[in-house]
Amino acid sequence: GDSVTQMEGPVTLSEEAFLTINCTYTATGYPSLFWYVQYPGEGLQLLLKATKADDKGSNKGFEATYRKETTSFHLEKGSVQVSDSAVYFCALGPRGGATNKLIFGTGTLLAVQP
Amino acid sequence: DTAVSQTPKYLVTQMGNDKSIKCEQNLGHDTMYWYKQDSKKFLKIMFSYNNKELIINETVPNRFSPKSPDKAHLNLHINSLELGDSAVYFCASSHSGTSGNIQYFGAGTRLSVL
């Protein structure tokens, strides 16, 4: 079945460091790909998405490119801030339709130190 | 206004009790979900309703029964609570057929079974 694999955390970085969180997927068909972020004590929020190969999703300085050839959707940010500390989830889902089941990776905790 | 709201935020109860969690969305979406997040932050879908009809029912004990009185509400009733039910339960909603299928999450209900 479909699945998502994320790098295990925690990832600990100093402020202004470069961030990469790896995500690879296995899926039939052509899924949409997402990064969600969960700040402490809160629900998940969509960070960015891409719906087809070579699309780049971006938001708040974060970017991820849908790579069909490597089945990857790695999250990157050039300069992290303390406020980016959160758990990041990679997810895949169908492009549309009623059966809108998201499959999540295990989440990666990011801790940014001042 | 909160887009997806869940009540209660915290729920502490004894083993064997029956409890309910309520969810409401004011986004006009036609699909709603329940997810369970365990202590390791792993997030797994439990149920999904589209236009008040059950469309996703993962392998969840019969003690869990979702109910959708209308498109804006999806409640979760749990009978005979067990220690292993302790988790954070998230409600989410989306609009079916939309490319990219963005799901919007509530803030979660932290259930502790003693």
B18 close to B27: Cβ distance less than 8 angstroms:
no
> Contact B41/A100, CB-based, under 8 Å?
no
Q: Give the residue numbers in A contacting B (CB under 8 Å), as ranges.
A: 32, 34, 36, 38, 41-46, 49, 51, 87, 89, 93-104, 106-107, 109
CA dihedral A98, A51, B59, B87 (to 10 degrees): -110
What does DSSP say about strands A75-77 and A19-21: parallel, antiparallel, or unpaired? antiparallel
First CA to last CA distance, chain B: 34
pLDDT confidence of residue B56: 83
* Average pLDDT score over residue span B84-107: 86
Question: Among A3-7, A54-58, B15-19, B58-62, whose mean pLDDT is lowest?
Answer: B58-62
Could you read off the pLDDT of A9-60 as tens digits, one per residue? Answer: 899 999 999 999 999 999 887 889 999 999 988 889 999 999 889 999 999 9
pLDDT at A109 over 80: yes
Rounded to a whole number of angstroms, the distance from the CA of A99 to the nearest CA of chain B is 7
pLDDT confidence of residue A9: 86
* Average pLDDT score over residue span B37-63: 88
pLDDT at A97 over 60: no
> Contact A101/B56, CB-based, under 8 Å?
yes
Distance, CA of B112 to chain centre: 15
Distances (CA, A) of B50 to A29, B32, B80: 22, 7, 27
CA distance A92 to A33: 5
